[in-house]
């Protein structure tokens, strides 16, 4: 058993701390957010996901985990703090990682292991982390050890993936790698792939960049399909029957703290990254493309109201980090649209999230931006009479087409464009203008 101090109790740091605590280690979880620490001390999780509460309860019962506001002397220090993206410089902002390392410095002892789980650009461990920790007068690889072990978990299935996914472990030297592998083997059931810290840093960014580039290609295919009037979703389905083709799905853009951010970490100090940068631009431009669809559908309607279905960046979770919904709403409001938002998971967002009936009341168009299961199974019969116009733009191709059409909705899907727009219905709305075809 070793004592582990986990710095950062967010979506990754906290479950990692609890998994170690339930695997026979003494764990101290540290966070600068006072409310987070106090909530954990009462035995409650600060955010919801399947299995988290049970894991916390078990760790507390074993007296293997406690939450504190100050870093403590330990055998292992694990840094799992956010790595924000600086949009102006298009670089990783390492201030939280460096700050966490600075907190460790006064407590660093010979033989300690420092693990960075935060997503970082290549060479961060060899340079910034090393430089910061050596302020202690100890020397990396001689007196203490450093590794990078990036997470590979997705919100909504975090615990399962943390335990059963393969892990990449990269140390600054062979001893750092071996010490980290021994520690993670206490709860990881997937394979442990051992490499160098710089390679591990690169692999994490490569994985998310691959997905970003693939989605960008799908989004470009979708726009081309709209030009030709074909169904890109069926085309992708058939193309993917090829044994060496795996095209991902188009949509309103990408979000989360990984795919929308990590590719920029690769480009910040690279001379050959034009493909990656182009993919980022394509995916970041998708909210504009969705708004273009909305404007075409609602042409001729004065002061239209649209209802956004989904503020989260992906289905069946409440995570709104880097969600394309935020950019879409800002663009729509700038064009003069009144925007209302409904999301069955999200609460306390930067825009008011309304109940379903209030969100669709007086709306001219529903825009589905998130692939929540509720939207996949939704029957609009109960609220269709609240709307002024029965339009829906499905950016995820998830709603039941026949159900919505049977309720007299005109359904428009990215990559499956209707060649003829609906006529304005004869409703009592004084600000409706005639459409001329």
What confidence tens digit (pLDDT) does each residue in 189-218 have?
999 999 999 999 999 999 999 999 999 999
CATH of the domain at 80: 3.40.50.720
* Annotated catalytic residue 204: yes
As given in the structure block, the two tokens for residue 326 are 């935020």
- Single out the catalytic residue among 5, 101, 125, 204: 204
User: Does residue 145 sit in the same domain as residue 275?
Assistant: no
Task: For residues 253 and 116, state if they share a domain.
Answer: no
Whether 50 and 138 map to the same domain: the answer is yes
Say whether 388 sits in a helix, a strand or coil: coil
Final residue belonging to a domain, choices 197, 231, 253: 197
Q: What value does the mean pLDDT take over residues 4-25?
A: 97
Note whether 157 and 174 are same-domain residues.
yes
CB of 320 closer than 8 Å to CB of 313: yes
- The 10s digit of each residue's pLDDT in 303-345 is 999 999 999 999 999 999 999 999 999 999 999 999 999 999 9
Domain boundary among 164, 197, 230: 197
* 258 is annotated as an active-site residue: yes
Residue that finishes a domain, picked among 197, 226, 248: 197
Rg (CA), the chain: 25
Note whether 305 and 240 are same-domain residues. Answer: yes
- CA distance linking residue 133 with residue 94, whole number of Å: 14
The 3-state DSSP composition of the chain as helix, strand, coil percent (nearest 5) reads 40, 15, 45
Is 238 in the same domain as 170? no
Residues counted in the chain: 437
Residues 187, 86, single domain; the answer is yes
Same domain, 329 and 366: yes
Residue the block writes with tokens 């078990």: 58
Q: 374 with 390, same domain?
A: yes
> Are both 45 and 122 inside the same structural domain?
yes
Residue 223 sits in the same domain as residue 321: yes
Helix axes 286-297, 197-228, angle to 10 degrees: 20
pLDDT for 47 equals 87
Domain that includes residue 231, residue range: 205-437
Check residue 418 and give its pLDDT. 58
Please check the confidence at residue 427 and state whether its pLDDT lies above 70: no
pTM of the model: 0.89
> Is there a single domain that holds both residue 168 and residue 243?
no
Which residue in the list 101, 125, 258, 365 is annotated as catalytic?
Answer: 258
SS3 74: coil
Q: Domains in the chain: how many in total?
A: 2
């Amino acid at each position: 058993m070793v004592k582990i101090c986990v710095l950062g109790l967010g979506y990754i740091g906290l479950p990692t701390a609890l998994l170690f605590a339930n695997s026979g280690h003494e764990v101290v979880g540290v966070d600068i957010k006072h409310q987070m620490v106090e909530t954990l001390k009462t035995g409650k999780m600060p955010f919801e996901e399947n299995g988290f509460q049970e894991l916390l309860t078990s760790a507390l019962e074993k007296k293997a985990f406690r939450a504190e506001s100050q870093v403590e002397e330990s055998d292992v220090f694990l840094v799992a703090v956010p790595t924000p993206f600086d949009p102006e410089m298009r670089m990783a902002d390492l201030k939280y990682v460096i700050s966490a390392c600075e907190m460790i410095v006064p407590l660093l002892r010979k033989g300690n292991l420092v693990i960075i789980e935060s997503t970082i650009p290549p060479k961060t461990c060899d340079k910034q982390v090393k430089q910061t920790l050596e302020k202690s007068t100890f020397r990396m690889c001689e007196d203490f050890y450093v590794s990078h072990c990036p997470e590979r978990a997705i919100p909504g299935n975090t615990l399962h993936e943390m335990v059963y996914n393969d892990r990449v472990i990269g140390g600054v030297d062979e001893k750092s790698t071996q010490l980290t592998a021994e520690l993670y083997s206490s709860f990881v059931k997937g394979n442990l792939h051992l490499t160098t810290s710089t390679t591990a840093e690169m692999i994490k960014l490569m994985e998310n960049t691959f997905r970003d580039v693939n989605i960008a290609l799908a989004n470009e295919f979708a726009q081309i399909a709209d030009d030709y009037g074909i169904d890109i979703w069926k085309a992708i389905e058939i193309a993917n029957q090829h044994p060496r083709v795996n095209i991902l799905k188009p949509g309103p853009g990408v979000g989360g703290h990984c795919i929308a951010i990590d590719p920029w970490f690769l480009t910040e100090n690279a001379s050959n990254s034009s493909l990656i940068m182009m993919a980022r631009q394509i995916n970041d431009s998708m909210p504009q493309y969705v708004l273009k669809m909305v404007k075409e559908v609602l042409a001729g309607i004065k002061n239209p109201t649209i209802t956004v279905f989904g503020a989260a960046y992906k289905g069946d979770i409440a995570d709104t980090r880097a969600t394309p919904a935020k950019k879409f709403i800002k663009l729509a409001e700038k064009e003069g649209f009144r925007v209302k938002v409904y999301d069955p998971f999200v609460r306390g967002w930067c825009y008011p999230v309304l109940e379903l009936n209030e969100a669709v009341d007086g709306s001219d168009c529903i825009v589905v931006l998130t692939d929540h299961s509720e939207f996949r199974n939704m029957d609009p019969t109960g609220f269709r009479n609240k709307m002024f116009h029965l339009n829906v733009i499905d950016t995820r191709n998830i709603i039941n087409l026949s159900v919505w059409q049977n309720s007299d909705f005109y359904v428009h899907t990215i990559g499956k464009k209707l060649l003829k727009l609906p006529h304005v219905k004869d409703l009592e709305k004084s600000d409706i203008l005639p459409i001329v075809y």
